[in-house]
Structures are given as structure tokens and as C-alpha cells.
Amino acid sequence: MKSVMILGAGPYQVPAIQTVKELGYKAIVLDYDKKASGVALADEFYEISTIDKDRVLKKAEELRPNFIITSTSDLPVRTAAYVAEKLNLEKDLSYANSICATDKSAMRERLKKSGVPIPNFFSCRNFDEFTDAIRRFSNYCIVKPADNAASRGVKLIDKNLTKSELEEQYNFTKHYSRNGVVMVEEFMTGPEVSVECFIVNGKPNVIAITDKLVTSLPYFVELGHSEPSQLPEDVQNGIRNVAILAIKAIGIQNGVSHVELKITPNGPKIVEIAARLGGDYITAKLVPLSTGVDMVKNSIFLALRRPFDIEKTLNCGSAIRFITAPKGVVKEIKIEKNPLEIEGVKDFQLNVKVGDSVADVKSSNDRIGFVITQAKTAKEAIEIAERALSYVRIDVDFNFGKGGLIRQPIVRREFA
């Protein structure tokens, strides 16, 4: 029986494991967490971190799978490329290119070399380089770790911070950087989008452009996504062109890509590009609800060299709105109307209960639930999501015993 080594067993990986099994392959699954939700589906499971490329290689040398894949997480893309190269398996992305798809410093260098529009940037290896870089910007700049995700450690800062404030910021961001590199970047203004692409023999096919709703400054946590983009068609054409240039520059031969861009006054520029599916339910739910395309399944078909189908069969709107609350302890949850009973609501989850602590929203992990909707248009899908969440009230005890009643959603609107 042919086998596929799958890196990652978390909830977002479950559809990939299921698809591999449906196609009749043995599913060899690796994850550092033996309690991950996909473990039960595995034909064989090994408790190995998916970013420990040498341990994964050792296991692959022993088991000799026919393919090695991952689905939604970032750093395992690098591990899969490394092992595929060492074992001479099907190669959709070289190891060298996989570094450019997962390390923001290497990514920016590659995009710059290829003439893809990006913001000015500096890759800083110590505090002196960090302060020098910040001085080069006129007032504000973005700082972020070179190789993390979920907006951890990403912040807009004022260049006129004191030395000790800069030190505090440097340590905060460096703490999230695995390779120790901290990026300092020009702050791009304008709406933000992501582009979901399916690449076949080096040719990128744009499946969807997703509009984003992001928290107020100085942190950048995504609070909502909607499709199709409501930006004007000529702007969307510019977005497609820049996303395609970026995919070609990174050298993704076959597979998927999630490209994030800001539409600046000087045109679309790349925030980052990934050689994996978009998370945050974008490819798992929003793309199928708006286009009918199942990128999750079809990306596995493509990786295993099976026939795939990325033809759009729907022309609908879809949206997700995340739930947040201020820092504190949840005192009471009142759901006046179950969002799932509202027409157009496809999914609703609230992941806190009374007594749970809620953190300030500094990273995606601080969001406490979501609602997903489908309607005729993106605008309608957003309206339904926001209406559904207006029935969810979370009473947070946030100030030494004083309560605060929060009606959702408390977010800045960019595309509503």
C-alpha cells in the first residue's frame, strides 16, 4: 500500500488526513502533540515535532513514504520540502525556496531581487541594528519577528520611543522570533486583502481575493474576512498581478499559496506570501461558500498527482467575523438569539465560558469565537455576521470587580 507522510495533526489538518485516506493511501501522521484531533484518524502516528526537520527525515528514511505533505501550517512547509529533496520524492517547492516562503527576511530579499512591490525593510540581528533601522523611517514603522505567525509580536511603533521603550519593544518581538531576526518595515497604509492561489506546473490560478478587517492600531489581529473582494475591478486586477509575480519569485511549482497584500496609495504591495492554504477558515469555509471550490481536497489531489477540479461553481458572498472581548474574566454570557438559527449563518463557535480569562487582543489566539455566513453578496454576508454577533453579549469583569457589558462586534469597519 502506498503511503503519505502528513506533517501536523491539528484541527486544520484533519481534512487533509481524511482526503489521503479516502484516496486509499496509508496516512502516516506526525505531530508534537499526541492529543491533536487528527491523531485518531492516522493509520500510523509518531510524536515528532513537524518543525524538527532532522527527526522527520529520520522517520521518513525508516518508513519510506511515497509522498510527504502538509496542509495549513507554515513551518512544516519547510520540513516537507527538506525531506522531499533528501529522499528524492515529488518536489513542488525546493528547500531553498521553502525558506523564502517561511522566513520573512529571506522572503523580502527574494521579492526585492525579483522586483515585486514590497515595503522598505531591514532584517535586524541585534538591538543596535534594530535602533539604526528604526531611525531610517520618518515617524512610524512596523516591527515583527521573521518567522512566527498569528500576528504574534507584530506592532506599529513610533520612532521617537525612548531607549528603554525601544529595548522593551525589541525584547517583546525578539521573544517570538525563532531565528532571532527582527524585521523593521515601512508601515503600509490602505485596505488589506489575501489572495488564495492554486499553482499548476508553475502557473498560478487565482481562486479568491479576500477583504480583511483588522484590529485598531498598534496591533494587527484579523477580526474578519469576506469574499469576493469589494474593491474595484481594476484594483483587483493589480492585486492579482502582484500576487502572481510574488508566487513566481518564490518559485512555487505546484501547490497552493496564500498571499497577503496591502493596497497602498502606490499600488498593491506584499505583506507576506505563504506556500500553504490560508488559515482562519478562509480556505476551509469561505472559499467553498463563495466559489464552490474545495482547495483543501484539491491541493491534496494535486500533491498526490491525482486529477483535480478548481472550476468555480458558485458566485456567492461569504464572511467570517471573530469575537473578541477586553482583558478580564468572563462574568456572564447572554445569547439572546442563537446565531445558528439566523438564515445565512453557516457556523458559530464561542470558545469561552463563565470564569474563563480573556486576554487583550494582541494575536489571533486571543480571539474567543466566530460566526461564518453565506449570502448573495459579500456585503450581505458581512451584515448577517454582524447582526448574528449583536445577539451575543459577553459580560467581562475587567477592572477590579467592576463589570463591563460588551456587545459584539466592537471592531473598526473597513469594508462594511
Q: In the complex, which residues of this chain contact ligand ATP (CB under 6 A)?
A: 119, 142, 144, 148-152, 154, 185-188, 192, 214, 220, 222, 260, 262, 271-272, 364
- DSSP code for 65: -
Nearer to ligand ATP, 230 or 374 (CB): 230
- Distance in Å, CB of 36 to ligand ATP, minimum: 19
- Distance in Å, CB of 309 to ligand ATP, minimum: 28
- DSSP code for 215: P
- Distance in Å, CB of 272 to ligand ATP, minimum: 5
316 binds, among Mg ion, ligand ATP, none (CB under 5 to 8 A by kind): none
Cell numbers 457556523 label which residue?
347
Torsion sign across C-alpha atoms 40, 43, 48, 52: negative
- Distance in Å, CB of 120 to ligand ATP, minimum: 9
Piece in contact with Mg ion (CB under 5 A), picked from 200-208, 234-242, 271-279, 382-390? 271-279
Nearer to ligand ATP, 154 or 310 (CB): 154
| Alpha helix segments (H runs only) across 183-232 | none
Contact 174, 180 (CB under 8 A): yes
- Distance in Å, CB of 220 to Mg ion, minimum: 8
Piece in contact with Mg ion (CB under 5 A), picked from 72-80, 119-127, 264-272, 320-328? 264-272
List, as one string, the DSSP characters of 105-163. HHHHHHHHHTT-----EEEESSHHHHHHHHHTSSSEEEEEETT--TTTT-EEEETT--H
- Nearby residues of 169 by Cβ (< 8 Å), 6 or more positions away: 143, 155, 157, 161
148 binds, among Mg ion, ligand ATP, none (CB under 5 to 8 A by kind): ligand ATP
CB closest to ligand ATP, residue no: 220
Nearer to ligand ATP, 107 or 345 (CB): 107
404 binds, among ligand ATP, Mg ion, none (CB under 5 to 8 A by kind): none
- In 10 A of CB 8, how many CB atoms? 28
Torsion of the alpha carbons at 261, 203, 77 and 154, rounded to the nearest 10: -10
Nearer to ligand ATP, 294 or 366 (CB): 366
Q: What angle do CA 60, 62, 64 make, to 5 degrees?
A: 55
Give the interface size with Mg ion as a residue count (CB under 5 A): 2
- Distance in Å, CB of 68 to Mg ion, minimum: 25
**Is the previous residue joined to 409 through a cis bond, with omega within 30 degrees of 0?**
yes
User: For binding to Mg ion (CB under 5 A), which residues are involved?
Assistant: 260, 272
